[in-house]
C-alpha cells in the first residue's frame, strides 16, 4: 500500500518568514495530494490540494508543488502569521474511491 513520509515533524518560523513542509510518497499510481491544517483543539480542515496533472497550485499565501518523478510534494507558506500555527498533514491517494494515506504531521509554530 501507499506510504507517505512527512518532514520535519516540528518547525518554528519567525513571523513574516516562509515555511516549507515536505512529503514523499511511495506509490507512483497516486494522483491526488491534499494538505490539511489542524489548529489546537479543532478538527482537521482541507487547505489546498493538487492533482498529478498539475505541477503547482497557489491560493493566496499558500502553495503546493508536486514532483511526480521524484514522488514528492511540498507545502509553502509565505509571509507567515500567528494564525498559521497549527499541525499540518499531507496525504496521498489514487483518487476516486481510494483511501487517503496521511503523513505523520508537522507542528508549525510561528514566533511573533
Partner 1 sequence: EADIYQTPRYLVIGTGKKITLECSQTMGHDKMYWYQQDPGMELHLIHYSYGVNSTEKGDLSSESTVSRIRTEHFPLTLESARPSHTSQYLCASSIGGREKLFFGSGTQLSVL
Q: Which residues are near partner 1 by CB under 8 A?
A: 1, 32, 34, 36, 42-46, 49, 87, 89, 93, 95-97, 99-102, 104-105, 107
Q: What are phi and psi of 84, to 5 degrees?
A: -80, -10
> In angstroms, what is the minimal distance from the CB of 105 to partner 1?
4
> In angstroms, what is the minimal distance from the CB of 16 to partner 1?
25
Choice between 96 and 112, CB closer to partner 1? 96
∠ CA 91-94-97, nearest 5°, is 100
Strand bridging mode 106-111 / 72-77: unpaired
> In angstroms, what is the minimal distance from the CB of 19 to partner 1?
17
> In angstroms, what is the minimal distance from the CB of 73 to partner 1?
15
Nearest alpha-carbon partner for 96 in 29, 16, 14: 29
CA dihedral 27, 29, 35, 41 (to 10 degrees): -60
Amino acid at each position: 500500500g501507499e506510504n507517505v513520509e512527512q518532514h520535519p515533524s516540528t518547525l518554528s518560523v519567525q513571523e513574516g518568514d516562509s515555511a516549507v513542509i515536505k512529503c514523499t510518497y511511495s506509490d507512483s499510481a497516486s494522483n491526488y495530494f491534499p494538505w490539511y491544517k489542524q489548529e489546537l483543539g479543532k478538527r482537521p480542515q482541507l487547505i489546498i490540494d493538487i492533482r498529478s496533472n498539475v505541477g503547482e497550485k497557489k491560493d493566496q499565501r499558500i502553495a503546493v508543488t508536486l514532483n511526480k518523478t521524484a514522488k514528492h510534494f511540498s507545502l509553502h507558506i509565505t509571509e507567515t502569521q500567528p494564525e498559521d500555527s497549527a499541525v499540518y498533514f499531507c496525504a496521498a491517494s489514487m483518487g476516486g474511491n481510494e483511501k487517503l494515506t496521511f503523513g505523520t504531521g508537522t507542528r508549525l509554530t510561528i514566533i511573533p
